[in-house]
Amino acid sequence: MATPLQIDSRLEDEGSAVLALSGEVDVSNTAQVRDAGVKLLTDGATRLVVDLSGTEYMDSAGLGTLVGLLKRVKEAGGAMAIAGPQPRVSRLFEITGLDQIFSIYQDLGTAMKEVRA
Amino acid sequence: MKDEVPSQVELRIPRSCEFVRVARKTAGALAHQLRFTLPDVQDIELAVGEACTNAVEHVGEHCPDILLLFSHT
């Protein structure tokens, strides 16, 4: 009975990848998010965009998972960005100060362009 | 609508990550019925979700359930 979440992970060109999270990210499903993100990295991605445009809710467990992915990406010398968070999720980044840690862009296209730069 | 919400509501959930959402959604529904604004409803859901997550992760094995008591004045 994990919280409804759809994860779409895909490798793209130039070592880039998209991890799209649709639905609700909370403590019941962050392990799935972590596993999907780590698989993209072990499959060769060094530039990761997490698409949150379809994310309706996220809690601190979800944020912690994203921080873990960011740490892995940075240790590998790569880049990571967040794309399209809805206001509710944006606010979570702001009140935790993580908007100062993550590169956050309004849409997926801009985020992809930035991580590839 | 506000008058239809009892002053206290109890909810007992299993100490399991899968039920944190149930607590969160219940809190949100009650807040909505009490005519909180949408941002406030969302804040209440977040606060209750985080509190329940803490309880699920940190209470001992001897505690199989979590009891939530919602009240308003």
A19-72 tens-digit pLDDT: 999 999 999 999 999 999 999 999 999 999 999 999 999 999 999 999 999 999
Contacting residues of A for B38, CB less than 8 Å apart:
none
Among A77, A82, A68, A85, residue whose Cα is nearest residue A31 = A68
Alpha-carbon distance A28 to nearest alpha carbon in chain B (angstroms): 5
pTM of the model: 0.91
What are the φ and ψ backbone dihedral angles of A101, each rounded to 5 degrees?
Answer: -100, -40
ipTM of the complex: 0.84
Q: Least CA distance to B56: which residue of chain A?
A: A27
Q: How confident is residue B61, by pLDDT bands cut at 50, 70 and 90?
A: confident
Is residue B11 a contact partner of residue B23, using CB atoms and an 8 Å limit?
Answer: yes
Question: For an interface test with B, which of A5, A24, A25, A28 has the most B Cβ atoms less than 10 Å from its Cβ?
Answer: A28
- In this structure, chain B runs to a length of 73
CB spacing of A3 vs B21 below 8 angstroms: yes
State which fold the B2-71 domain adopts. Answer: Heat Shock Protein 90 (3.30.565)
The domain total for chain A is 1
Contact at CB, B50 and A92, closer than 8 angstroms: no
Residues 6 or more apart whose CB falls under 8 angstroms from that of B3 comprise: none
Contact A60 B45 (CB under 8 A): no
Measure CA A44 to chain center: 16
Q: How high is the pLDDT of residue B3?
A: 57
* SS3 assignment, position A55: strand
Output the domain CATH number for residue A69: 3.30.750.24
Residue B2 binned pLDDT confidence (cut-offs 50, 70, 90): low
Contact A2 B49 (CB under 8 A): no
Domain range enclosing A105: 5-116
Calpha distance A72→A63 (Å, rounded): 14
**List of chain A residues whose C-beta atoms are within 8 Å of the C-beta of residue B21:** 3, 24, 26, 28
SS3 assignment, position A30: helix
Reading the block at residue A52, the tokens are 């949150």
- Which of B18, B24, B53 has the CB atom closest to A1's CB atom? B18
Any bridge partners for residue B8, and if so which? B71
Q: What is the pLDDT of residue B59?
A: 86
Distance CA B53, CA A64 (A): 13
Residue B21 has pLDDT above 70, yes or no: yes
DSSP structure class, residue A21: E
